[in-house]
Amino acid sequence: MKILVADRISPIGVELFKAEAGFEVIEAYGSTPEQLLELVKDVDAIALRSDTRVTADVVAAAPKLKVVGRAGVGVDNIDIEAATEGGVIVMNTPTGNTLATAELTFTHMLCGTRPIVQACAGMREGRWDRKKFTGSELSEKTLGILGMGRIGAEVTKRAQAFNMTVLAYDPYLTESRAKALGVTLSTLDEVIEHADYITVHMPLTKDTKHMLNADAFSRMKDGVRVFNCARGGIIDEAALIEALESGKVAAAGLDVYEDEPPAEDSPLRQIKNLVLTPHLGASTQEAQENVGIDVAKQMIEALKGEMVRNALNMPSLDPQALKQIAPYMTLGEKLGTFSQQLAPEGVEKITIRYFGKITELDTLPLTYAIQRGYLREISENVNDVNAPKKIEHLGIETEQVKTNTHAEFTELVEVEVTCKGGKIRTIGGTLMGKNQTPRIVTIDGHGVEVSTDATLLVLKNKDVPGIVGFIGVTLGEDQVNIANMSLSRDQGEGFAVSVFELDSAPSETAAKKITEHAAIDKYRVIKL
């Protein structure tokens, strides 16, 4: 496999790539966009930081590309949608620079409390401005944290050590987690209106862009202090400049900007009570080394078909969860393939139902396996990354339902497809025996038991004598061997569902003979 290291990462990370048998490493730092398009033509993976941009054109130029690994958190320089369409895993290293960013945030808070930067500048100019640079104290102040992920939690620990009260706003923060962290779970308005200090630790999205705008600043306490070491654009810079100049904001600190770097004549550079740093959040020796090593390890695991960690466009499972869900993955893919061939006339919706103990697991990877199986015969280059998108592009809705119990099975996975016109077809499977062998156990509500590793002849026929014999003779004349069969009778309708496990598919002549039989209502050959 060929690995392109497009930006400088830890030398230890590069050596980890080189130590893998069969890996060829290309170090191409500072490549132009045109050079990058040439370099990626036969690469399997790209490792980068923030300098290199992986655009839709780059993804299109790299037909073998499987993984893009960002040594760091932000992935603004990667077109994730294009990567997903191309079946490329995009991963980052969210933990490697957590402490570095939290400590920089607190450094900014301290510099916004005690005018260290301004006092230092005065000293270098020969002044002794003791009275001019009177500061404040963090103790007994209220800190509002927007975003309580890893970095927000680390900032919380440091704030509490300085005897600060912490108000936390995060749409995904639970009461129990807030209690464990020792913070007060708050609304955005409560943080804006009651905090003496506000620090941002959220991703930049359509919902968080300009979250702190002119209206927000107008509702803050007079003399509030505001900091952003997360993503540029969360704070409206024009509104911040106005609030700093008016005195509404006593001090602020920025490590990230709406445009990076800010223009040389940016008014941000002229404001005395604003401390600016050039995106240094991860710029410590420890963090740089950590993220380089982390991204190399993660990419190697993914390329070798092992656990995928910190992926942004597919489920990531820890080893224990992966071990639990793994036996079901083959079953899921086979059920998906079966359901597509059972209803090839067109599907509007796929409903996946999980019954029993399996509901206690993270079933999203299994849902992706079912989608992957559904696409196997009708699409190319399908994997867990692009399967959901490809299903969506076909206009098919996917629904996942979990139920604790089932009347006949301890665990069951059922795939229901709603066809155009309203017809519904179902296929169900489970794992059997000590070896947890995947088996198909229901077809359209009829109980059967057949292998998932065979060519299956599925019939719906009138429940009359001679059908099994007719099929046996017809297939025998066609030199097709029957390995096994399962029969399910429906006394109410007078029909039966028969499934024959075959060593090979019947010929067109045999198929025609079977379908023309007066008692046979439906005929389908399913290749698993």
- CATH of the domain spanning 454-528, picked from 3.20.20.70, 3.40.50.920, 3.30.70.260, 3.40.50.720: 3.30.70.260
Mean pLDDT of the chain: 92
In this prediction, residue 385 carries a pLDDT of 87
Q: Indicate whether 317 pLDDT > 70.
A: no
According to the 3-state scheme, what is the secondary structure of 390-420? HHHHCCCEEEEEEECCCCCCCEEEEEEEEEC
In this prediction, residue 383 carries a pLDDT of 83
Please state, in angstroms and rounded to a whole number, the distance separating the CA atoms of residues 489 and 523: 16
Q: In the chain, what is the straight-line distance between the N-terminal and C-terminal CA atoms, in Å?
A: 30
CATH class of the domain whose range is 2-95+287-303: alpha beta
Indicate the helix (H) or strand (E) that contains 324.
helix 319-342
Pick from 10-24, 364-378, 399-413, 444-458: least confident = 399-413
Rounded mean pLDDT of 477-492? 87
Backbone φ and ψ for 67, nearest 5 degrees, come out as -140, 135
Same topology, domains 2-95+287-303 and 98-276? Answer is yes
Query: In Å, how far are 133, 158, 328 from 371, measured between CA atoms?
Result: 63, 45, 14
Residues with a catalytic annotation lie at: 231, 260, 279
Q: Indicate whether 502 pLDDT > 90.
A: yes
Helix-helix angle 150-161:98-113, to 10 degrees = 40
Torsion 61-67-70-71 (CA) sign: negative
- Residues whose CB falls within 8 Å of the CB of residue 128, separated by 6 or more in sequence, listed in order: 122
Please state, in angstroms and rounded to a whole number, the distance separating the CA atoms of residues 355 and 458: 25
Rounded mean pLDDT of 446-469? 91
Q: Indicate whether 491 pLDDT > 70.
A: no
Please state, in angstroms and rounded to a whole number, the distance separating the CA atoms of residues 513 and 383: 38
Give the rounded percent of residues in the chain with a pLDDT score beyond 70. Answer: 98
CB atoms inside a 10 Å sphere around CB 430: 25
Please state, in angstroms and rounded to a whole number, the distance separating the CA atoms of residues 305 and 21: 15
Q: Indicate whether 155 pLDDT > 90.
A: yes
Nearest to 252 by CA among 283, 280, 217, 218: 217
* pLDDT digit string, tens, across residues 91-106: 999 888 899 999 999 9
CB atoms inside a 10 Å sphere around CB 257: 20
**Does residue 261 have a cis bond before it (omega within 30 degrees)?**
yes
Q: Indicate whether 321 pLDDT > 80.
A: no
Do residues 169 and 156 make contact, with C-beta atoms less than 8 angstroms apart? no
CATH class of the domain whose range is 98-276: alpha beta
- Per domain, the residue ranges of the chain are 2-95+287-303, 98-276, 315-452, 454-528
Q: pLDDT-based confidence at 494, cuts 50/70/90?
A: confident
Please state, in angstroms and rounded to a whole number, the distance separating the CA atoms of residues 283 and 49: 12
- Residues whose CB falls within 8 Å of the CB of residue 419, separated by 6 or more in sequence, listed in order: 343, 345, 346, 347, 348, 425
* pLDDT digit string, tens, across residues 236-273: 999 999 999 999 999 999 999 999 999 999 999 999 99
- Residues whose CB falls within 8 Å of the CB of residue 364, separated by 6 or more in sequence, listed in order: 315, 400
* pLDDT digit string, tens, across residues 214-228: 999 999 999 999 999
Considering the domain delimited by 315-452, tell me its CATH architecture.
2-Layer Sandwich (3.30)
Burial of 518 (0-12, 13-18, 19+ CB in 10 A): exposed
For the chain, the helix, strand and coil percentages under 3-state DSSP, each to the nearest 5: 35, 25, 40
Q: pLDDT-based confidence at 322, cuts 50/70/90?
A: confident
Q: Indicate whether 380 pLDDT > 80.
A: no
Residue with tokens 């309708």: 493
In this prediction, residue 112 carries a pLDDT of 96
- Helix or strand or coil: residue 39? helix
Rounded mean pLDDT of 331-353? 91
Q: pLDDT-based confidence at 509, cuts 50/70/90?
A: very high
Give the rounded percent of residues in the chain with a pLDDT score beyond 90. Answer: 73
